[in-house]
Amino acid sequence: MAELTLHFELPDGADTAAAASGLQQHLDGARDIVEYATVDADQGTRFITGVEIVAGFVLAGKIAGSISAIITAIEKIQQLAVAASKSEGFKRVLVDIGLRSVPLDSLTDADKRELATETLAS
């Protein structure tokens, strides 16, 4: 199963339930490339800077076997997540690549390839 997890940061005091609901609506646009996407507001982790909501994706089997297909899926998820970030008031969206947390809107081609390789291995 090829899995991908994104971390959406909200400012302190934000309505996590409303943000999670709005995020889920945006991520429903990825149904052609993911088997399912889950948004977990209950595990909203509090940081000094605010709250984090986690969104997990399991890529569809037809995509999960190819690095180039996974990169294309990452780019589509990236577009949906950036749109959700703007409309739902997220401060930033992060993805873990190896031991680094990288802002989703700043992924380089090398980051996408590394993330796709990790995702394929998961």
What CATH architecture does domain 3-121 belong to?
Answer: 2-Layer Sandwich (3.30)
Number of H helices, E strands in the chain: 3, 5
Tracing tokens 């190819």 back to the chain, one arrives at 66
pLDDT band at 48 (very low <50, low <70, confident <90, very high): very low
User: Is residue 6 classed as helix, strand or coil in its secondary structure?
Assistant: strand
Global confidence as pTM: 0.83
Q: Tell me how crowded residue 25 is: count the other CB atoms within 10 A of its CB.
A: 13
Residue type present at position 75: E
User: Is residue 20 classed as helix, strand or coil in its secondary structure?
Assistant: helix
List, for residues 97-112, the tens digit of each pLDDT value: 989 999 999 999 999 9
Q: Angle between the 109-121 and 67-88 helix axes, to the nearest 10 degrees?
A: 110
